[in-house]
Copies of this chain bind each other. A is one copy, B any other.
Amino acid sequence: MLGYFGPRGTFTHQALLSLGEGEATPFPTVAATLDAVRNQQVAAALVPIENSVEGGVSATLDRLAAGDRLMIIREVLLPVLFGLYARPGTALSQVRSVLTHPHAAAQCREWLAEHLPDARITEGGSTAAAAEEVAQPTSRFDAAVCAEVAGELHQLEQLADHIADNDGAVTRFVLVAPAGPPPDRSESDKTTLVAFMREDHPGALLEILEQFAGRGVNLSRIESRPTKTILGDYCFSIDAEGHIGDARMAEALMGLHRVCKDVIFLGSYPRADRVKPRIPYGGRDSDYTAARAWLDDVLS
C-alpha cells in the first residue's frame, strides 16, 4: 500500500494515480506522510518536492533530511493545470462566485479577470476542498478552480481548462521508501542528497560545488536550507545528475563526506525526463577502474 500527501483530489493525488499503482492512503501533512513510511504504515509515499513557481517544498526538504533515513526511488513530473469546475448544469455565464486556494487564485488571476470579471473569488484551504464544497447542492459557491482529478472525484463539470496564466508550471513529486539499496542504474538517473556545511567556514559552498564540478557531475537543483540552529548556518539540498553506482558520483559523495559536517544520501533513481548526463573526459567507470589499476601497478 502506498501513501500520499492528501487530501484526495490534489495534484499530488493526480500524480499518485499516474504511477498506475491503484488507490492509496492520503495523509494530512507532509510530515504525517513521511512518518507513515518511517513507521512502515505504508510501503512508500508520494510527496511534492519542487515547484517551478514556488520553489522547493520546504516541508518536504526538511522532513526528508530529519529523522530515520528515507530514500527516493522514483520521481514524477506533473504540469500544474488548473480548470474551472461547477455542478453539472451550470453554464460559465452563470458563475457568480468561485472558491479556490490562494495559490490557485493568484496563478489564474488574469483568466478570471477576463472571463469572470464580475464573479466574487473566495480563497479557502485547498483546491480539493473547494471542489468538495462546490459539489454540495446547497453550496453558496458556483464553481471551483481546481485540478482535473478533483473535478472528476466530485463529479463536477469542466467549464474551462488550462486557465493558469503561466501555462508551463510544473510540480515535481518523489516516491519515498525506507532506506535500502537504491534502484539499479538506468541510462538517466538523478541523485538527491543533503550536505551540512561545517560551521563558520566561508568557502564551504564553493568546496561542496567543487566536489561535483571536479568530477564532471552536473547539479540540476541546489537549495539552501537553514539548519534551525543559528542564523546563517545552512545545509544544502542538492540534485545531481547520475547514480551513486557511477564511479564519479560515488567519489563525489565520498569527497563531500570528507569536507562536510554531514551528508544525507536520499536516493538515486531514474529521471522522469530521461535526459542522459554528459560524461566528461575521464569520467567513465572504466576511467576510474584504469586509474585504480595504474595505482596498484605503481605500488607493487
Contact = CB atoms under 8 A, between A and B. Distances in A.
B52 A224 contact: no
Interface in A281-300: 281-283, 287-288, 290-292, 294-295, 298-300
Contacts of A213: 203, 206
A65 interface: no
A169 to B, nearest CB: 8
Interface stretch (A86-94, A111-119, A249-257): A249-257
Contacts of A234: 221-222
A258 B288 contact: yes
A95 interface: no
B258 A226 contact: no
B202 A255 contact: no
B52 A228 contact: yes
Interface in A51-66: 51-56, 58
A244 interface: yes
Nearest to A284: B258
A198 B254 contact: no
A292 B228 CA distance: 29
A166 B229 contact: yes
Contact of A53 (B205, B206, B220, B228): B228
A170 interface: yes
A300 B181 contact: yes
Contacts of A246: none
A170 B224 contact: no
A188 interface: no
A244 to B, nearest CB: 7
Interface in A175-227: 181-182, 198, 202-203, 205-206, 209-211, 213-214, 218-226
B291 A257 contact: yes
A224 B229 CA distance: 20
B299 A244 contact: yes
A276 to B, nearest CB: 14
Contacts of A170: 230-231
Given A170-B231, A203-B213, A254-B288, 14 more contacts: A52-B231, A168-B230, A198-B281, A202-B219, A205-B222, A206-B210, A210-B214, A214-B214, A221-B234, A223-B223, A253-B295, A254-B292, A257-B295, A258-B282
Shortest Cβ-Cβ A-B pairs, 7 listed = A258-B282, A254-B291, A52-B231, A55-B226, A257-B291, A202-B218, A265-B298
